[in-house]
Structure formats: C-alpha cells, structure tokens
Amino acid sequence: MKANVTYWLDETAKRFPDKTAYADEHKEITFKELRAEARAIACELVQKGLFKKPVAVFLEKGVDVLTSFMGAAYSCNFYSPIDVDMPGSRVNKILEVLKPSVVITTGPLREVFSAYDYTGEFLLLEDVLPAQGTPDAGGESLSLPVRADGAGVQEAEAEKEAALEAARRRGIDTDLLYVLFTSGSTGVPKGVTINHRAVIDYIDWVTETFAITEKDSFGNQAPFYFDNSILDIYSTLKTGATTHIIPKTLFAQPVPLLEYIKEKEINTIFWVPSALIVVAKLKAFRNVDLSDTLRRVLFCGEVMPNKQLNVWRQFLPDVQYANLYGPTEITDACTYYIVDREFGDEEPLPIGFPMPNTDILVLNDRDEPVTGEEPGELCVRGTSLSMGYYKNPEKTREAFVQNPLNQAVPELIYRTGDIVRYNERGEIIYLSRKDFQIKHMGHRIELGEIETAVSSLPEISLNCCLYDEKRQKIVLFIEEDLEKAYIAEKISHLVPEYMLPNKVIRVEKMPINANGKIDRVKLKEYIK
C-alpha cells in the first residue's frame, strides 16, 4: 500500500527514466531528473528539521513548481502554492493562517516576497538543485561527485539521504499532502487540507476509469493553486504519462490553443467549462482538426452548458467526454458522468454517480434522504474528505458534521452546500448553491469576500453581491454612482481578478428585510 504519493515517482523513475514527465514553455524534466531534483529539495527540508510542516511554494507556474511540490512530499511535509500574481493583502492573509516553516522560491521572487508579512526561512531553488550528476534509473543515489578539494562531499550527501529515508519511514498515508486556500466569507481564506490517501484513491480511480497509461499526454489548464490540477499532476506521476503546462495566454486565443494541442500531441484535457466554452463560441474547430489527436475531454469546476458541449461533440464525435463534480474539500471530485447520450442545448448535464469508495447522501431540510426528484443538499462521506480547514476549527465544525444517518459510531460527512436532485435515470442533477458561495470561472468564491473588499472603499455605504447563474456573472449592487472600472481598480489589490464584479447595478436604496438584513431576494429582481 502506498503511504506517500512520491512512491509513484520512485517507480516511474525506474520504468521510464528518460521520458518527459512535465514540460512548460521553458523547461522539460524527465522522471529521473524530477526525482533527483525533488529529493534534493527534500534533503534540504529534512536538514532544516522540518517534518509534517507547511511549505509554501512561491514560483511562476511551471515545471519548478511541481518539482517543489514533490520535494515537500518526499520530505513528509505538505505544500501550499501561493500565486505570484495574487494581491498582496490576500497573500498576507494566507501567510497569517498558514505560517509556513519555509518558502520555496527563487532569488528574484524572494525580493517580491519581502513585501509580505513573512520573516521566516527561504529555500532558493538555484541554491539547492544539483548542477551536475543525476541518479541512475533507480534513483538510489543523489550523491554529487567528489571534488578534489572536498573529499567529504559524498559522505555529507549520504548523510542527507539517510536522514531523508528515515523521515519517509515515519510518514503515513493520512499525513497532509497539500493545503489549498479557497475564498472565505469574512475575507479570510480557508485552507483546505488533503492527505496522501485521498489523492492516492482519487488518482487510482482516474487512471483506471479513463485507462491512463504512459502513452498519454495531458494538457494542463488549471492553476496549481486550483484542485483541478491534481488530476494532471498525479496521473502523470503514477502512470508515466506526460503533462504539458499550456501557456495561460493561449486560452484567450482558441486557434493557437488548438494548434498547440495538435503540435504537442496532447490527447487528454481536464479543463474548467469556461475554457471549453471559449473554444466552442469562437468556432476554432473550423481552423484546426483535432480528430486524430484528442481522446478525452474531462471538465469540472462549474456547470458545463450542453449548448457549448454539443459544439465540441459535433466536431469531435469520437472523443470521450466526462463531467466531474466536486469541491476542493473532497479531493477534486466525488461524482462523475461519462457522456453517453445526446442532450438538447437547454438540458442540464448530469453530474452522474458517486465515485468508488465514495458515498453521496442527498438530504432534505430534515436531514432525511430525499425521495423521487425532491431536491436536497449533496453531502459526501469517504476517504476523499478533507481533514478540515487548516487552523480553523469553527469553519471545520460547520462543514464537516456527524452523519445524521449513522448514530452508532462517529462518522463525518461534508456538507457541500450544493442543491441537487435525482432524475428518472438515477443520475444526480446539479441545481444551485444553498448559500452565497458560488462557482465562477472554475473557482469556488464566497460572495462575502467580494463584499468585504468593496466595503473598504470610502465612497461605499452598503453593497451586496449576487451571482447571475444564467449568464455566469458576478453582479454588484451599490447605492452610489460609481463605474465598474473604478471599483475594479480600487479592489484589485484585495481580491484576485476572477473575483472582480462583472456587472454593477446602482439602486436608489438598498432593500432591507424584516431581519434588518439586505433583502437579496428583492435584489434578484434587478438581474435581467
């Protein structure tokens, strides 16, 4: 039984030492090289006395990020990516919660990081990665060559290796692998904790269900701070496949994007629906034929409209399409639907059925299983569940609760806040959000965080955010006569770009309900 995801890398480095594991615009790395570099980072972390500690990774999206992830995992620590383009105030909030023991970065980016509220240690990649010499295919040695002026180098490296292996023997599969930060209703991001076992179970399912092998090639779209990337990263690690990190700029250029897929011979993509929609809307398929290239199109993160999916199916009818559903808290996905029939443009696409070793409970307001097509909240139990929110027991207790259907023994379920129903085929159909948390552009967002940012503007008295699910737009309501561009500029340092309001509606007076709260139901009438 695997206790750590890096045991996959040990095996793939032996089986496919010289095969490309990950590639970006500037760098490719083989499995042998990946293992060597990851273990070099791991040795340094162990030498610093770190074990089961948080390691922040602050790097431009690329191969080096993944090497750093593996280094943290090898040393039995856990990683947390911090986007280099994230607003400084949000970085500081994450640092306040995470309190990383070390930040993996580069010299130039260390200077950028100096502006944040962090006084801890740094691990600079240029100081760590071996400049010469790589392990053999089995990866049993990271020893650097003995220099004429340093006969003890080999012994020192051997000691590092021994310390690393000692740490690995202490690791178990319920140790944390990563912490990903999502939006928080109070403006404080929540750190979702995921352990090795959850990822191992998930990737075992992915690779078996979609028959992933070393012959496959992924086209990565998801940012590494977004849980969709887990499928690309670890399916590659387990099977010996290759992941190409697609340049972000290409997703605004559908034709060059498809040309890139064709050039790199990418046969599997796992994208958020918004990326697929752009390609469908601009009819890029008329310019680039991918019928001999793509084999699988998987998607997750938000509702996939059948109108755009049907465009993909029209031009690529022989591709396997699958709709995966799940929040970050359940290790990327907990239900799936492999598209097996035709759908009208206006029909909802099912989110399908539970994954193996995962149980779905659809509960009504009385915490009873729904009957027929009655709507209810989707709840999840199983090994895929997060271990909770990092250093946030209050929010953890709210979302991870005792299974109301099991009073015999302690058993936690996760309340997703998503309202679903079963159709006549027994498939699960997504309906809406229960609260004010939304899914937008592949990200889970608490509208309260946007409201908190807008409230910081001196001109603003009351404000309220709603989500127009039909048009997939964040709508901001204010009483003041302010332009959307002005608001976006003023809060761009507080929230990421994907959280900026898409539309601003001015109301004469904010409606207030009997409880003294903003009447959100009334405001919905303004959305047209």
User: Who has greater pLDDT, 24 or 344?
Assistant: 24
Whether residue 273 contacts residue 243, with contact meaning beta carbons closer than 8 Å, is answered with no
Long-range CB contacts (< 8 A, 24+ apart) of 335-342? 335/360, 335/428, 336/209, 337/427, 339/309, 339/313
* Per-residue pLDDT tens over the stretch 340-360: 999 988 889 999 999 999 999
**Helix, strand or coil for residue 73?**
helix
pLDDT band at 27 (very low <50, low <70, confident <90, very high): very high
Of these ranges, 14-18, 302-306, 450-454, the one predicted with the greatest mean pLDDT is: 14-18
Could you tell me what percent of the chain has a pLDDT over 70? 94
Structural domain boundaries in the chain: 6-188, 440-526
- SS3 category, 222: coil
Read off the pLDDT of each residue in 306-312 and give the average, rounded to a whole number. Answer: 92
In angstroms, the CA 202 to CA 67 distance is: 21
Across 436-440, average pLDDT: 81
Who's near 433: CB < 8 A, 6+ residues apart? 417, 418, 419, 439, 467
What architecture is the 6-188 domain classified under in CATH? 3-Layer(aba) Sandwich (3.40)
Is residue 185 scored above 80 in pLDDT? no
Q: Is the pLDDT of residue 388 over 80?
A: yes
The residue that leads in pLDDT, 280 or 213, is 213
Amino acid identity of residue 236, one-letter, is T
Q: Residue 158's pLDDT is what? A: 85
Each residue's pLDDT tens digit, 491-525: 999 899 999 999 999 999 889 875 557 888 899 99
Cα 18 off chain centre by: 28
Per-residue pLDDT tens over the stretch 264-289: 999 999 999 888 988 987 789 999 99
User: Comparing 6-188 with 440-526, is the CATH topology the same?
Assistant: no
Count CB neighbours of 219 within 10 A: 23
DSSP 463-514: EEEEEETTTTEEEEEESS---HHHHHHHHTTTS-GGGS-SEEEE-SS--B-T
β-sheet bridge partners, residue 57: 81, 104
Question: In 240-387, where does DSSP find H-type helix?
Answer: 254-264, 273-281, 306-315
Cα–Cα distance, 260 to 420 (Å, whole number): 37
Residue-averaged pLDDT of the chain: 91
Looking at the predicted structure, is the pLDDT value of residue 145 above 70?
A: no
State how far the Cα of 376 lies from the Cα of 369, in Å rounded to an integer: 8
Query: Rounded to 5 degrees, what are φ and ψ at 202?
Result: -65, -50
CA 206 – CA 322 distance, rounded (Å): 11
Other beta carbons within 10 angstroms of residue 57's beta carbon come to 25
pLDDT tens string 33-73: 999 999 999 999 999 999 999 999 999 999 999 999 999 99
Tell the CATH superfamily of the 440-526 domain.
ANL, C-terminal domain (3.30.300.30)
- Name the token pair of 311: 């465009």
